[in-house]
Amino acid sequence: MQVPAQFEYARAQSVSHALSLLDRYGPEARVVAGGHSLIPMMKLRLAQPEALIDINDLSELSRIEVEGGELVIGALVRHAELLASAPATGLFPIFQDAERVIADPIVRNRGTVGGSLCQGDPSEDLSAVFAALRATAIIEGGDGRRSVPIRDFHEGPYETAVQAGELLIELRVPATPGTGSAYVKVERRVGDWAVAAAGAVLSVAGGVIERAGIGLTAVGAEHFCAPEAEEYLTGREPGEEAFAEAGRIAAEHCSPQPDQRGPADYKRHLAAELTARALRTAMERI
Amino acid sequence: MQVTITVNGLPYTREVEPRLLLVHFLRDELNLTGTHWGCDTSNCGVCTVQLDGVPVKSCTVLAVMADGHEVTTVEGLERDGELDAVQKGFMECHGLQCGFCTPGMLLTARWLLDREPHPDEGTIREAISGQLCRCTGYENIVKSIQRAAEL
Ligand code: FES
Ligand code: FES
C-alpha cells in the first residue's frame, strides 16, 4: 500500500487566499488541483510536501473564453473540459488531437491543464501544444501578475518559471483566424506517456507560410519547440518537401534519451516523421 | 482533520489524516468494500467512484479533497431494492467474471449512459479505456452496457 508522508492540508477560497496560504506554509508547500501528477509522486515519496494547498474551489481559474483576441484557458480547466470545449477545439483542433490521447477518460475528468504544465514532465503533451501555439502563461504572486512566454516557462525537467509563493492562473493563446493546427502522438498503449509526439500550427499568406509553430515532447527538444525548423518553414511554399525537411531539421536539434519506451534513434526518427505529419494535417485544416 | 462526505446520499463525518486516500476512506472507514483497490497508481480504474457525479480514480483523490462533496459508489447504484439498469445489463450479458473491475465499470457505464443514452460500441470502448478487466472480458462488458441502454 502506497501512503504519502504526512502533510498539512488547506483549502483555498480564492486566488488571494491561495497566495496567502502559500506564503504562510512557505516553500515546502505545494498546490494541488487534480492531483494526478502530484499524489502518485507523494505516494512513492518522490515528493514530500509539508503542506498541500487545494485550489479545486477556485472557479475563477476554470474558464475557457475568447477575450480581446486571445483564447484564455484557466489553469484549473480539466482535460475533459478542454477536450469538450467548442471555442478551444474550434479555433485550434490541436487541443482535441492532444486531449484525446492524454491519459484516459477517467483521469482526464480530474487532471488539469495547469497541473500538467506545472508538473513539467519532459514527456508531457500540453507543453508541446502550448509551445507550438506560442501561448503566454499568466502567473500571480504576492507582487501581482506577470506574463511568461510559454517557451520560457519550462526551465528544465520538472522545473518551471512558477516560483515559490506563486500560482499559475491561465494560459493565453493568440486567437489568430486562418490558422491550421494538429498534434500527432505515438504511445505504447492507451493512456501512456508519449514515445514521441509533435504538434504543428501553421498560417499561410500569399501562397507561402507566414508563421509556423512546432512543439515536440519526449524527445529532448529544448523548451518543447523547434525554432530552427520553424525558421526554415517561414516564407516557404507549404508542401511535402518543405514539411519533410522541417521534420529532419527538428529531429536534428532534439536530444532524445533512450529508455523503456524506445532507443534514441527511434525517437529521433519519430520526431522527424511526426513533425511532418502534424504539419501536413495542420495545412489541411487551414 | 474533520471531514463530512456525502456517500450514496448519506453524510458521514469522520476524523481523518490529510494523507488518507478516498479509496481507503470508503473501504476502511465506511466499510463500503464494493469499491475495489488494485494498482494504486491510477492505471487500472478498479477504484473508480463518482465524485459529484463524475467518475474519478479514488486511489488518486485524498479524502480531504472530497470534504463537502458527494460520492457515489457501487453500493449506491440500486434504488429501493431495485438494481440499476447497468447492473441488470451486466447480469444479463455475463459482464463479469471475477468481478474485480465490475464496480468501476458500472459507475463509468452509468455516467456514460446519463450523458449519452445510446452510445455506439466505439464510444463505450473509449469510455472504459481507463479501466482494466483482468479477466479481459471486454466483449461482454461492451454488450452489457449496450443492453443497459435498452433497459
Ligand atoms: S487502484 Fe486506483 S486506478 Fe488502480
Ligand atoms: S471481471 Fe475479472 S477483472 Fe473484470
Confirm or reject contact between A32 and chain B (CB < 8 A): yes
pLDDT confidence of residue A177: 83
Q: Same CATH topology for A8-54 and A59-174?
A: no
Q: Is the CB of B54 under 6 A from ligand 1?
A: no
User: Which residue of A lies nearest to B123 if distances are taken between CA atoms?
Assistant: A105
Contact A39 B131 (CB under 8 A): no
* Closest residue by Cα to residue A115 from A52, A173, A65, A70: A52
What is the mean pLDDT of the segment spanning A54-74? 97
pLDDT confidence of residue B126: 95
What is the mean pLDDT of the segment spanning A175-187? 94
pLDDT confidence of residue A60: 96
* Count of other CB atoms within 10 angstroms of residue B94: 13
pLDDT confidence of residue A5: 95
Is pLDDT above 90 for A9?
yes
Q: Does domain A59-174 have CATH number 3.30.70.20?
A: no
Indicate which of A9, A50, A78 best probes the interface with B, i.e. most B CBs within 10 Å of its own CB: A9
Confirm or reject contact between A286 and chain B (CB < 8 A): no
pLDDT confidence of residue B67: 98
Specify the CATH number of the domain B85-150.
1.10.150.120
Domain at A179-285, CATH homologous superfamily: CO dehydrogenase flavoprotein, C-terminal domain (3.30.390.50)
Q: Is the CB of B57 under 6 A from ligand 1?
A: yes
Q: Measured between alpha carbons, how far is A28 from A44 in angstroms, rounded to an integer? A: 17
Per-residue pLDDT reduced to its tens digit, A192-224: 899 999 999 999 999 999 999 999 999 999 999
pLDDT confidence of residue A128: 98
* DSSP summary character for residue A43: H
Is pLDDT above 90 for A191?
no
The three-class DSSP label of residue B64 is helix
Q: Measured between alpha carbons, how far is A188 from A30 in angstroms, rounded to an integer? A: 31
Nearest ligand to the C-alpha atom of residue B46: 1
**Model-level pTM?**
0.96
Beta-sheet pairing, A144-149 with A194-205: unpaired
State how far the alpha carbon of B15 is from the alpha carbons of B38, B40, B86, B136, in Å. Answer: 25, 23, 34, 39
Q: Is the CB of B109 under 6 A from ligand 2?
A: no
Q: Give the minimum alpha-carbon distance from B25 to chain A in angstroms, rounded to a whole number.
A: 13
Largest CA distance in chain B: 45
pLDDT confidence of residue A176: 85
What is the mean pLDDT of the segment spanning A222-250? 97
Extract the runs of DSSP E, i.e. beta strands, from chain A.
Answer: 8-11, 29-32, 51-54, 64-67, 70-74, 136-141, 144-149, 154-156, 159-160, 167-174, 179-187, 194-205, 208-217
User: What pLDDT band is residue A87 in, cutting at 50, 70 and 90?
Assistant: very high
User: Mean pLDDT of all residues in chain A?
Assistant: 96
Closest partner residue to A106 (CB to CB) among B41, B45, B65 is B45
Is pLDDT above 90 for B84?
yes
Q: Measured between alpha carbons, how far is A243 from B91 in angstroms, rounded to an integer? A: 53
Contact A6 B130 (CB under 8 A): no
Expressed in angstroms and rounded, the spacing between residue B131 Cα and the centre of ligand 1 is 9
pLDDT confidence of residue A101: 95
What is the mean pLDDT of the segment spanning B77-92? 96
Specify the CATH number of the domain A8-54.
3.30.43.10
Which ligand 2 atom sits closest to the C-alpha of B134? 3
Specify the CATH number of the domain B2-75.
3.10.20.30
Q: Measured between alpha carbons, how far is A80 from B38 in angstroms, rounded to an integer? A: 24
pLDDT confidence of residue A109: 97
**Domain ranges in chain B with CATH number 1.10.150.120:** 85-150
Expressed in angstroms and rounded, the spacing between residue B53 Cα and the centre of ligand 1 is 18
pLDDT confidence of residue A1: 81
Q: In what order do the strands lie in the sheet with A64-67?
A: A64-67, A70-74, A167-174, A136-141, A144-149
C-alpha grid cell, residue A264: 534514441
Q: Is the CB of B44 under 6 A from ligand 2?
A: no
C-alpha grid cell, residue A3: 501512503
Got the DSSP string for A212-235? EEEEEESS--GGGB-HHHHHHHTT
Is pLDDT above 90 for A190?
no
CB of A242 closer than 8 Å to CB of A208: no
User: What pLDDT band is residue A267 in, cutting at 50, 70 and 90?
Assistant: very high
Q: Give the percent of chain B with pLDDT over 70.
A: 100
